[in-house]
Amino acid sequence: MGATWRIRLWSNNYSSRFESAFRMDAAECTLELRMRLSQPAPGRIQLLSGRRQVGKTTLLVELADELGPKAIYWSGDESGSTAPGAFGRAFADVEAASSVGGTAVLLLDEITSLPSWAAHLKGAWDRLRRRKLRVHIVATGSSSVVLGEGVEESLAGRFERLELTHWTPTALAKNFRMSAERACETTLRSGTYPGAVEYSNAPERWAAYIRDAVIEPALSRDIRDIGRVRRPALLRQVFHVATSSPAQIVALEKMQGRLDESGSLETIASYLGLLERAYLVAHLDKFSTRAARQRAAPPKLVTLNHALLAVADPLGASTANTDPERFGRWLENAVLAHAWNRGQRVRYWREEPHEVDAVLDGSWGSFAIEVKSGRYSKADLTGLFEFTRRHPRYRPLVVGVAGNLIVAERLGLPVMRWQDFLLRGPARISDTRDLVSEIAPTDRATKKPQKKPASGPRTPRSPARLRSRVHPARPRAR
């Protein structure tokens, strides 16, 4: 996947900001940084933000090794790095390196560890520009470093932002020599933090690593770098309730009732916003052409890495046979989290009695997606038909388990195995016939050939005819 330019206007109850960013994985980010560092210096500051344990430090260390003496590396996590004068010495070193000849690069890891880091960075960059020194600056920080209070104003016009997302199954497969299928299963059952892979055969050590290296630093440190947290205990409770509700629409009033501590709806909403900006839990808006309805609708909660789900759930990952309902929630969460992490705008749609799991907009195109993990009938797809009838620019897509997609195929709907969606998304599918034909020839579960459609996708039956067979109270199949 290439880098995706993301412009997003937040207009709900949980956050209000205008965000533009390149969002990519570690390999893509490395290529993008190399390209930018090859341009004439001094360029704008490259601010690289992302979750802990997704490879930011590794990326900077690799760049430092490649650039040799032209690179000066400074880490805010090292002892003495925040002492008086330490930051100034790093700039003096990079100025000396640039004076020898050529372009020098200052690599600042975990810059947010430095008090008043934005002011320091602004002053140093302005000095480089005045003196016309050939120096590039790359700075990293956990969480959304450029979105802290007052930071955008102080660095306005001086930076470009890159977001390093959670690892994809493709990255796992490439870096740890896994098969694509195994990487997808790992993503679903235990997440994609690369540092946790070595503990995959030791569940207790794996869980301790996720708690100590990911969750605890995020809740106790990273989020406080983003915004003000007056009640840390309440923030933790909101996090645990959110991660125990994967791919579920949860009204704030109901969440309030599940908390041990009392908290206003405004406080809960603001903490949900902080969790999203820390790349932990996203809250999806309802799709609506009316802004008032969108603002009033409850959010759909999506945990952005399944390691957080696995730690929060004492039962761990389930299977379609042992606990079909919980497996369906996890599978839907994985599909939605992957789309969010890849820079797509993800929303849901619900107009009783109809519902669509995800409405996507972005570089992949516009899709209305239903995720099906178990048995279902054509009546369970009426929401998809109804939504695409009202909004024809969205292409329908059913994502599910191999062997359970035949119902959608017979109705003329494009289908895709969930593993294929996690590996590449629907972006390269040119039309419905290509999408169906890529999945239809082989049922990987039975290894039996399946018949290709004789022509293009069949015309879906009228939504009105389908709805006439559905009782409004019938539970929605997953």
Alpha carbon distance 187, 204 (integer Å): 18
464: in domain: yes
pLDDT (tens digit per residue) in 403-416: 889 999 999 999 99
Confidence of residue 427 (pLDDT cuts 50, 70, 90): low
Q: What angle do CA 85, 91, 92 make, to 5 degrees?
A: 85
d(CA 78, CA 115): 14
Is the pLDDT at 153 greater than 50? The verdict is yes
* Cβ atoms of residues 206 and 190 within 8 Å: yes
Phi, psi of 104 (to 5 degrees): -105, 160
Task: Provide the H-helix boundaries in 289-381.
Answer: 291-296, 306-312, 324-341
Among candidate residues 128, 143, 164, the one where a domain is terminated? 164
Confidence of residue 154 (pLDDT cuts 50, 70, 90): low
pLDDT average, residue stretch 88-115: 85
| Alpha carbon distance 257, 262 (integer Å) | 8
The whole model's pTM is what?
Answer: 0.78
Residue 390 lies in a domain: yes
Is it the case that residue 25 has pLDDT exceeding 50? yes
Whether the per-residue pLDDT at 463 is higher than 70: the answer is no
Q: Which has the closest alpha carbon to 272: 231, 305, 242?
A: 242
pLDDT value at residue 23 = 72
Is position 6 within any domain?
no
| Count helices and strands in the chain by DSSP H and E runs | 21, 17
pLDDT tens digits along 369-388: 999 998 999 999 999 999 99
**Number of independent structural domains in the chain:** 2
Q: What percent of the chain has pLDDT over 70?
A: 81
Please tell me the predicted confidence (pLDDT) of residue 215. 93
Determine, yes or no, domain membership for 312. Answer: no
Residue 6 pLDDT? 38
pLDDT band at 456 (very low <50, low <70, confident <90, very high): very low
Structure token digits, residue 174: 């490439």
Give the residue among 116, 167, 117, 164 at the shortest CA–CA distance from 137.
117
pLDDT digits (tens, 9 = 90+) for 338-352: 999 988 999 999 998
Give me the CATH number covering residue 132.
3.40.50.300
Domain assignment present for residue 377? The answer is: yes
Q: Residue 33's pLDDT is what?
A: 87
What confidence tens digit (pLDDT) does each residue in 165-197 have? 889 999 999 989 999 999 999 999 999 999 999
Residue indicated by tokens 């293009």: 456
Q: Is the residue at 408 inside a domain?
A: yes
R_g over Cα of the chain: 24
Q: Which residue's structure tokens are 């960013």?
A: 21
pLDDT digits (tens, 9 = 90+) for 261-275: 888 899 999 999 999
Res. 283: pLDDT tops 80: yes
Is residue 44 a part of any domain in this protein? Answer: yes
Judge whether 415 and 384 are in contact, CB under 8 Å.
no
- The Cα–Cα gap between 232 and 144 comes to 19
Per-residue pLDDT at 41: 83
Task: Judge whether 31 lies within some domain.
Answer: yes
pLDDT at residue number 8: 38
Task: Report yes or no: 388 and 402 within 8 Å, Cβ to Cβ.
Answer: no
Q: Which of 472, 264, 260 is nearest to 383 (CA)?
A: 472
Question: Which of 164, 181, 199 corresponds to the end of one domain?
Answer: 164
Separation of alpha carbons 366 and 419, rounded Å: 20
Residue scoring higher pLDDT (322 or 439): 322
Least confident of 257-261, 278-282, 390-394, 467-471: 467-471
Of 109, 136, 164, the domain-final residue: 164
Domain that holds residue 145: 26-164
